A and B are shown apart, each in its own frame.
Chain A
Amino acid sequence: MSLKHSKFSGNKVRPVVGKLSITEEAIRKSPFIIKKTEQAMRTLKENPFPTRLSRSK
């Protein structure tokens, strides 16, 4: 599959929308994606959003 160029609308870049070379289902079944999702869920659980965000400045 060759990708068409993303469309430009003024200064905004918009992607071409359509079928990818892999289905969403196959992406989600990839061991790497499963591992990444589990890792992210763990991080989120162990580090919930604080009551008050720290301002660095």
Chain B
Amino acid sequence: MQKERYPYKANKTFTSFEFQSKGPNGTIKKIVDYVEIGKWKDDIPVYNLAFGDLDESNQIINDLSISNNFDRDKILATVAITVKDVIDYYGEIAIHAEGSTASRTRLYQMGINANHEEIKEYFDIYGLKNFNWREFEPGTNYEAFMVTKKNLYLN
């Protein structure tokens, strides 16, 4: 993955990551969090990717805020590299990603599209469309995404 990204930090268990978006609206702390939500095929643990802004004064994570720091691609590339970190760390897991709104899901999709050539070297990506999981195809709109390390299932 060669895209420009922010420096980032991981907690010891590689379940949470932090970085700072910098732009005309200042510095905004971002958190990427992974929570186990269930099992997928062959009892592989599934972790949900959640991503939002850190509200430091209230010590909570927010979504739906528009940072407008003109750094969307850099942010998405940084989130993408945390997916690789988590899969490298935990091995045979699946990572689920779904936006809290359709536009947020679209944002994830744009991130996958923008980084697809690099991502597919490491991962298999599936998209949920009309109640079916299928291999991700750039340009197709999906309702959710699942990422596993390469060739975990499609051998």
Residue positions of A touching B, CB distance < 8 A: 3-6, 13-24, 26-33, 35-37, 39-41, 43-50, 53-57
Contact = CB atoms under 8 A, between A and B. Distances in A.
Contact of B50 (A13, A37, A48, A57): A37
Contacts of B1: 13
A52 to B, nearest CB: 10
A23 B134 CA distance: 36
B126 interface: yes
Nearest to B5: A13
Given A33-B33, A54-B135, 9 more contacts: A3-B20, A13-B81, A14-B85, A22-B31, A27-B16, A29-B60, A32-B50, A37-B35, A50-B132
Nearest to B50: A36
B1 to A, nearest CB: 8
Interface residues of B, number: 55
Point out which of B11, B40, B41 has the most chain A C-beta atoms below 10 A from its C-beta.
Answer: B11
Contacts of B137: 56-57
B61 A30 contact: yes
Nearest to A18: B9
Point out which of B15, B17, B61, B137 has the most chain A C-beta atoms below 10 A from its C-beta.
Answer: B61
B68 interface: no
A6 B78 CA distance: 11
A3 B126 contact: no
13 contacts: A18-B12, A28-B33, A30-B52, A31-B60, A36-B63, A37-B35, A37-B50, A40-B37, A44-B38, A44-B96, A47-B128, A49-B40, A56-B140
B35 A28 contact: yes
A11 to B, nearest CB: 8
Contacts of A19: 11
Contact of B9 (A16, A29, A35, A53): A16
